C-alpha cells in the first residue's frame, strides 16, 4: 500500500481541476484569435503541434478574393496559443495563389 503525500494530492487535484487544452479547442481558439486580428476568412487548419507553452497552429487564410477563385490570394499563418487558449504570437509565413501547388508550409519545408 502506497501512502501519498499532501503535495502529491495537491498536484493531482490541480491537474484534475484544469483539463488540458485539446487539439480541437486549440485550433478553434487560434482561428478565432486570428480572425479577430486580421478580419480575413479562415480556410482551415493545415498543421498543428503541441509546444511547451501550448500549441503552434498553422492556418490558411483567404487574403484577397478574385474571380475566378483559382486566382484568390491565400496566406499561411503560424499562431501560438497558450494552454488557456490565449494568443501568444502570430505571423504570416507565406502568401500564394490558390492555384499554386508549392505552398511550403511548416510541415512541407
DSSP per position, 41-101 = -EEEEEEEEE-SSEEEEEEEEEEE--SSGGG-EEEEEEEEEETTS-EEEEEEEEEEETT-S
DSSP helix/strand/coil, 34: helix
Give pLDDT tens digits for 56-97.
Answer: 999 999 999 888 888 889 999 999 999 999 999 999 999 999
pLDDT band at 15; cut points 50, 70, 90 = very low
Pick the CATH number of 21-100 from 2.60.40, 3.30.43, 3.40.710, 3.10.450: 3.10.450
Whole-number pLDDT of residue 4: 55
φ/ψ of residue 40, rounded to 5: -110, 145
Number of residues that this document lists for the chain: 109
The residue that leads in pLDDT, 46 or 105, is 46
Q: Is residue 107's pLDDT more than 50?
A: yes
Please give the mean pLDDT across all residues of the chain. 83
The residue that leads in pLDDT, 99 or 10, is 99
Closest by CA position to 62, among listed 43, 49, 77: 43
Q: Is residue 7's pLDDT more than 80?
A: no
Closest by CA position to 82, among listed 35, 33, 43, 47: 33
Whole-number pLDDT of residue 66: 85
Per-domain residue ranges of the chain: 21-100
Amino acid at each position: 500500500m502506497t501512502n501519498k503525500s499532501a503535495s502529491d494530492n495537491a498536484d493531482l487535484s490541480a491537474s484534475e481541476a484544469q483539463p488540458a487544452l485539446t487539439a480541437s479547442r486549440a485550433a478553434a481558439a487560434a482561428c478565432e484569435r486570428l480572425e479577430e486580428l486580421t478580419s480575413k476568412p479562415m480556410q482551415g487548419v493545415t498543421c498543428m503541434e503541441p509546444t511547451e507553452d501550448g500549441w503552434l497552429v498553422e492556418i490558411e487564410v483567404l487574403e484577397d478574393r478574385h474571380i475566378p477563385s483559382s486566382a484568390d490570394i491565400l496566406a499561411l499563418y503560424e499562431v501560438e496559443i497558450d494552454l488557456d487558449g490565449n494568443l501568444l504570437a502570430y505571423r504570416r509565413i507565406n502568401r500564394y495563389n490558390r492555384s499554386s501547388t508549392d505552398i511550403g508550409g511548416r510541415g512541407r519545408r
